[in-house]
Chain A
């Protein structure tokens, strides 16, 4: 699976938009990009997945440029409850969902 690079940590304030960028220079043609969220002492939770351009759901948006060598998870108007670790994963869709390879993740701290 393609290796990913994310910032180790980020700080934000309630109500702000947070953008977390993930680099994946060696992404393969059949790789998808998936983001998970993890709270302390809990299992990761699927947030969003995409292949190219932009994907949006009720929780977040995922922006993927044409070269697909990076992606940006956008969290609109964060709250204190968004404080968590966010993981970017890259891999084929069939293994991307089942044999997941997690990187170090980005620890997001939201302040009041």
Chain B
């Protein structure tokens, strides 16, 4: 059974640019959550989608957005990149209510 797949694995962008990250959940999983991990702030919840609807949202500026498609794949977009957006972005999927979250290997974003 394939795990959570995140693409790309590594990305280098320039300040001011925008970036889109992709997450393919485990087959059958309808919930996709996104997290940002930095050495200073640790692992922080960004948002969660279920059946194409955003159900939960963390405390991040509006530059961070996401969406989920009908096949449960999800994308996360960050606009007007800042140096502080450099982080490991993790995606987790689960079947839905009260089920274990499975994480992908993440996308390492570097903003220069």
**Chain A contact residues, CB within 8 Å of chain B:** 41-46, 87, 93-95, 97-105
- Check B105 for interface membership: any CB of A closer than 8 A: yes
Partner of B56, one of A43, A93, A95, A102: A95
- Find out whether the CB atom of B4 lies under 8 angstroms from the CB atom of A43: yes
A105 to B44, CA, bound (A): 13
B residues less than 8 Å from A43 (CB atoms): 4, 90-92, 103-106
26 A-B residue pairings within 8 Å (CB atoms):
A42-B103, A43-B90, A43-B91, A43-B104, A43-B105, A44-B43, A45-B103, A93-B98, A94-B98, A97-B98, A97-B101, A98-B31, A98-B48, A98-B55, A98-B56, A98-B94, A98-B101, A99-B33, A99-B45, A100-B33, A100-B43, A100-B45, A100-B92, A101-B45, A102-B44, A105-B42
A residues less than 8 Å from B35 (CB atoms): 100, 102
Known A41-B88, A43-B90, A102-B43: A97·B99 in contact at CB below 8 Å: yes
Residues 78-106 of B, flagged 1 when their CB comes within 8 A of A and 0 if not, give 00000000001011101001111111111
Residue pairs across A and B with CB atoms within 8 Å: the count is 59
- Find out whether the CB atom of B103 lies under 8 angstroms from the CB atom of A44: yes
- Check B67 for interface membership: any CB of A closer than 8 A: no
How distant is A43 from chain B, measured CB to nearest CB, in Å? 3
Known A41-B108, A44-B43, A105-B42: A99·B103 in contact at CB below 8 Å: no
How distant is A104 from chain B, measured CB to nearest CB, in Å? 6
A102 to B99, CA, bound (A): 17
